[in-house]
C-alpha cells in the first residue's frame, strides 16, 4: 500500500487587526508560534510541517525567526489564504492537509495524532474537532484530503471562502466527521486573539507546570480553578471569521482607548453591535468604503452632520491642500481667520464679533465663559444638547435624569465638580411656563438653547424667550452647531427672525474640516478680553480656508434649499410607507435632518433590524439621516426600495410572526452606555 503523505500547515501572520504581532508574544519565555511548533513536533503521524505566512514586509521578522530555528516557511497572498494552502500542499505532494492556526499555541499533539489516524483509516474527506466544538477553544484542528483543497481552490469564488480556507470544503465534502469528547469544554478559551487572552495563556501554563501538557491537564486545572480561565470575558468562539475588519479593529481599540473612540455617536454599538463596519478607508460624495473595500451608500449621519457638501468635496479639498503645501501653522497668525470673521459678520448683520474654535464643545464653553464674564452670574438655563464639558453635565448633579430629554439619556457625572451643583437648570422646549419659572426662581444670567432640533417652535416660543431675556438682562445663546446652514445660509434663527446675543455655528461650516464660530454682539463679546480664552490649535489654518470655500459653494448652489427639499420628500415617503403597512410612525427633525421612530415596544429591535438589512444591501442607515447635496433622487430610490421590504417585514413582526429573526440580531444601544 502506498503511504499517504500528511502535511501540517500552520497559517500565521504578524498583521492581526485585533492584536498585532500576537503570534510572537511570549508564553513563558518563548514566542507563541515557537511554543506551538514545538508542541506539534511531538506528533508522530505527519510527514511535513510548514508555516504559511504572507509576502507582506511585516512578516519578514516572523520568517527570519522561523528559518533561524530550522522551520520550513512558505510565503503567499495575504488575502487568499486558500491559495497559500493549495500551493504549498501541491508543492509538497500532500495527500492529507492539516490546518492549524498560529493563534492556537496549546494544540494537543495526541488529539492531533488520533485525528490523523481517524481520517486515514476511514477515508474521510474532512475531519475536525470544531463542528460543533467540545474541546477548548484553541485546540482546533481541521484535516482534509488534498483533492478537496484542490476543488475549493478552483471553484471557491467568495472572499470569505478564500480567507478562511475550509468553509467551501465543509459545504461540499461528502464524507465528513466531527471528532469530539463526551463532555463539552468548549467554554474554555485558550487562543490568542486579544491582549486579555495572553494573560490567561500564561497563567494556565504556569499553573500546569509542564511544557507538553494535554487536554486532560487543562480539564483538571479547570475543575480546580475556573477563575483562571476568565469565563466572563464573553468573547465569541472563532469570532475573527464572523466579524468584519472594522469590528476586529474596534475590539483592539477598546483595549487601549477608553470607550473605543472619540465620539459616542460613532460607536458601532449605537447602530449594530458586532455588525457595523466601524472604520472607513475612504469617502466620496455620499459613499463610504470600509477597511475591506466594500462600498456603502451613507444614509446615516454623514459624519454626524459635518459633510453637507458631501465627503471629499473637490473644491474645498483642493484649496485646503494648496494651503497646506504653503504651511498650515507658523509663529504668525493666518489671514484667513480675519477673512472668515468678516464673512460671517456680513452674513449675520446683528452680530459684530467672532471667536473661533475647532469643536462644538469648545465653542459652547467659550460662549458660556464670555457670557458669565459679562453678566457676572453663574447660573444657566439650558434646553438641548451642548456637549461634554463640566458646565453642561453639572445639570445632572441635582438629578441623574435632568438631561435625559435633551438628546442623550444616562449621561454620567463622575469627575464633574460637585460644587457646580445648582448652576445649570434644564427647561423643556416649547414649555414657556417652565422656562419663566426656572429663570425667575434660580437667578439665571444666561439662557442657552438649540433653536430647533426635533420639533419647530410653537406659540411664538422663541420670541417669548428672547423678549424675557431682554427684559431681565439675560444673555441668550443659540447653539446652532447642528442646525446652522441646514435651512438658511447661516443660523436657522434667521428663518425665525429671532436674534440671540451669541450664536454658535459649526459642523457643516467646514465640511469635515474642524472649525466652529462663536458670533456675538460687541458689548458682550468684548468680555472675552477680561477672561482667559486661548488655544494653540485654534490658530491652525485649514479650518478657516475650508470654511471660506464652503461658504462660497453654499451661496452659489443654495445648498440649504437642496437638502431641505430632499428632506421633505423623505418625510412624505416615510409617511406613505408606514400607512401602506399600517405602522404608526413618528416623524420629526429639521427637513435637512429627518428622523423617525415606530410606535412599538420592539422599536429598538426594529431599529437594529433596519440597520442590519440595509448593511446587507450596502447602505449605512438607521432612523436618522443627515442629508447632503449628494442625496439625490437615484440614491433616495435605492434607499426606499429596500426600506419598503423592511417595513413589510416589520408589519409581519408586529403580528408576532418570524420573531426569531429579530432575536438573532444584536440590539443597538440607546443613549450613553459604558463600554469595556
Q: What is the pLDDT of residues 486-528, one digit of tens each?
A: 999 999 999 999 999 999 999 999 999 999 999 999 999 999 9
247 DSSP assignment = H
Cell triple for 540? 491652525
Domain spanning 261-309+560-663, CATH class: alpha beta
Comparing 552 with 667, the larger pLDDT belongs to 552
Reduced DSSP (H G I as helix, E B as strand, rest coil) percent helix, strand, coil of the chain, to 5: 45, 15, 40
When the pLDDT of each residue in the chain is averaged and rounded to a whole number, the result is 93
Q: Is the pLDDT of residue 241 over 60?
A: no
Long-range residue pairs from 347-352, CB within 8 A, at least 24 positions apart, any chain: 347/489, 347/490, 347/551, 348/490, 348/491, 348/494, 348/503, 348/519, 350/499, 350/521, 351/503, 351/519, 351/520, 351/521, 352/520, 352/521, 352/522, 352/525
Q: Distance (Å, rounded) from C-alpha 553 to C-alpha 575?
A: 32
What's the CATH number for 314-556? 3.40.640.10
pLDDT band at residue 42, thresholds of 50, 70 and 90?
Answer: very high
Q: Where in the chain is the domain with CATH 3.40.640.10?
A: 314-556
Give the pLDDT confidence score for residue 240 in this predicted structure.
57
Domain with CATH 3.90.1150.10 in the chain: 261-309+560-663
Please say if the pLDDT value at position 347 is more than 50: yes
Which residue spans of the chain are classified as CATH 3.90.550.10? 6-233
Is this prediction's pTM over 0.85?
no
What's the mean pLDDT in 247-273?
87
Phi, psi of 253 (to 5 degrees): -60, -40
Q: Could you tell me the pLDDT band of residue 136, with boundaries at 50, 70 and 90?
A: very high
* Structure confidence by residue, pLDDT tens digits, 268-282: 899 998 889 999 999
What are 142-166's pLDDT values in tens digits? 999 999 999 999 999 988 899 889 9
CA–CA distance, 280 with 292 (Å, rounded to integer): 9
Q: What pLDDT band is residue 79 in, cutting at 50, 70 and 90? A: confident
* Residue bearing cell 449621561: 411
Instruction: Please report which confidence band the pLDDT of residue 238 belongs to, taking 50, 70 and 90 as the band edges.
Output: low
Nearest Cα residue to 539 out of 339, 307, 341, 337:
337
In angstroms, the CA 581 to CA 602 distance is: 16
Is residue 546 within 8 Å of residue 323, measured between CB atoms? Answer: no
DSSP H helices, 97-214, are 109-122, 146-155, 159-164, 167-172, 195-208
Residues linked to residue 448 through DSSP beta bridges, in sequence order: 382, 477
Domain 6-233 has CATH 3.90.550.10: yes
Tell me if residue 8 falls in helix, strand or coil: strand
Amino acid at each position: 500500500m502506498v503511504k499517504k503523505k500528511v502535511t501540517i500547515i500552520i497559517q500565521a501572520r504578524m498583521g492581526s487587526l485585533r492584536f498585532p504581532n500576537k503570534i510572537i508574544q511570549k508564553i513563558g519565555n518563548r514566542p507563541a508560534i515557537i511554543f506551538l511548533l514545538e508542541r506539534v513536533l511531538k506528533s508522530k503521524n505527519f510527514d511535513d510541517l510548514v508555516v504559511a505566512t504572507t509576502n507582506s514586509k511585516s512578516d519578514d521578522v516572523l520568517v527570519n525567526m522561523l528559518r533561524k530555528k530550522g522551520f520550513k516557511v512558505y510565503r503567499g497572498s495575504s488575502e487568499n489564504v486558500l491559495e497559500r494552502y493549495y500551493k504549498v500542499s501541491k508543492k509538497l505532494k500532500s495527500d492529507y492537509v492539516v490546518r492549524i492556526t498560529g493563534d492556537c499555541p496549546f494544540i494537543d499533539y495526541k488529539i492531533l495524532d488520533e485525528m490523523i489516524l481517524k481520517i486515514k483509516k476511514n477515508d474521510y474527506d474532512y475531519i475536525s474537532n470544531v463542528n460543533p466544538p467540545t474541546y477548548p477553544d484553541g485546540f482546533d484542528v481541521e484535516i482534509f484530503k488534498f483533492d478537496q483543497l484542490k476543488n475549493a481552490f478552483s471553484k471557491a469564488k467568495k472572499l470569505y471562502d478564500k480567507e478562511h480556507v475550509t468553509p467551501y470544503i465543509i459545504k461540499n465534502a461528502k464524507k465528513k466527521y466531527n471528532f469530539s469528547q463526551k463532555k463539552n469544554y468548549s467554554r474554555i478559551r485558550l487562543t490568542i486573539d486579544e491582549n486579555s487572552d495572553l494573560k490567561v495563556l500564561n497563567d494556565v501554563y504556569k499553573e500546569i507546570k509542564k511544557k507538553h501538557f494535554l487536554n486532560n491537564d487543562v480539564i483538571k486545572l479547570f475543575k480546580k480553578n475556573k477563575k483562571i480561565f476568565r469565563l466572563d470575558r464573553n468573547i465569541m468562539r472563532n469570532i475573527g471569521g464572523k466579524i468584519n475588519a472594522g469590528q476586529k479593529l474596534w475590539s483592539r481599540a477598546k483595549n487601549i482607548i477608553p470607550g473605543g473612540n472619540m465620539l459616542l455617536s460613532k460607536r458601532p454599538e449605537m447602530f449594530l453591535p458586532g455588525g457595523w463596519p466601524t472604520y472607513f478607508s475612504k469617502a466620496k460624495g455620499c459613499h463610504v468604503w470600509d477597511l475591506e473595500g466594500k462600498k456603502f451608500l451613507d444614509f446615516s449621519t454623514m459624519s454626524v452632520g459635518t459633510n453637507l457638501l458631501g465627503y471629499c468635496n473637490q473644491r474645498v479639498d483642493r484649496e485646503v491642500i494648496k494651503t497646506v503645501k504653503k504651511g498650515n501653522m507658523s509663529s504668525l497668525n493666518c489671514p484667513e481667520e480675519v477673512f472668515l470673521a468678516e464673512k460671517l459678520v456680513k452674513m449675520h448683520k446683528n452680530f459684530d464679533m467672532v471667536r473661533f474654535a475647532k469643536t462644538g464643545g469648545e465653542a459652547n464653553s467659550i460662549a458660556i465663559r464670555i457670557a458669565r464674564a459679562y453678566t457676572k452670574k453663574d447660573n444657566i438655563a439650558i434646553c438641548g444638547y451642548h456637549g461634554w464639558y463640566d458646565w453642561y453635565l453639572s445639570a445632572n448633579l441635582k438629578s441623574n435624569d435632568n438631561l435625559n430629554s435633551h438628546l442623550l439619556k444616562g449621561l454620567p457625572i463622575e469627575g464633574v465638580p460637585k460644587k457646580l451643583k445648582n448652576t445649570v437648570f434644564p427647561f423643556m422646549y416649547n414649555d414657556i411656563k417652565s422656562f419663566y419659572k426656572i429663570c425667575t426662581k434660580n437667578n439665571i444670567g444666561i439662557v442657552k438653547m438649540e433653536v430647533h432640533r426635533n420639533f419647530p417652535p410653537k406659540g411664538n416660543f422663541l420670541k417669548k424667550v428672547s423678549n424675557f431675556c431682554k427684559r431681565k438682562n439675560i444673555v441668550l445663546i443659540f447653539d446652532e452647531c447642528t442646525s446652522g446652514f441646514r435651512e438658511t445660509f447661516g443660523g436657522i434663527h434667521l428663518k425665525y427672525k429671532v436674534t440671540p446675543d451669541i450664536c454658535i455655528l459649526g459642523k457643516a461650516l467646514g465640511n469635515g474640516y474642524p472649525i466652529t464660530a462663536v458670533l456675538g454682539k460687541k458689548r458682550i463679546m468684548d468680555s472675552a478680553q477680561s477672561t482667559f480664552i486661548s488655544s494653540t490649535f485654534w490658530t491652525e489654518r485649514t479650518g478657516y480656508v475650508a470654511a471660506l470655500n464652503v461658504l462660497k459653494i453654499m451661496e452659489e448652489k443654495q445648498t440649504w434649499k437642496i437638502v431641505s427639499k430632499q428632506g421633505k420628500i423623505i418625510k412624505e415617503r416615510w409617511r406613505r410607507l408606514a400607512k401602506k403597512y399600517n405602522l404608526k410612525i413618528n416623524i420629526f427633525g429639521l427637513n435637512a435632518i429627518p428622523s423617525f421612530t415606530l410606535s412599538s415596544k420592539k422599536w429598538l429591535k426594529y431599529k437594529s433590524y433596519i440597520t442590519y438589512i440595509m448593511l446587507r444591501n450596502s447602505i449605512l442607515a438607521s432612523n436618522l439621516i443627515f442629508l447632503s447635496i449628494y442625496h439625490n433622487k437615484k440614491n433616495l430610490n435605492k434607499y426606499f426600495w429596500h426600506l419598503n421590504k423592511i417595513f413589510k417585514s416589520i408589519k409581519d413582526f408586529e403580528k408576532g410572526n418570524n420573531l426569531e429573526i429579530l432575536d438573532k440580531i444584536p440590539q443597538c444601544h440607546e443613549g450613553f452606555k459604558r463600554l469595556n
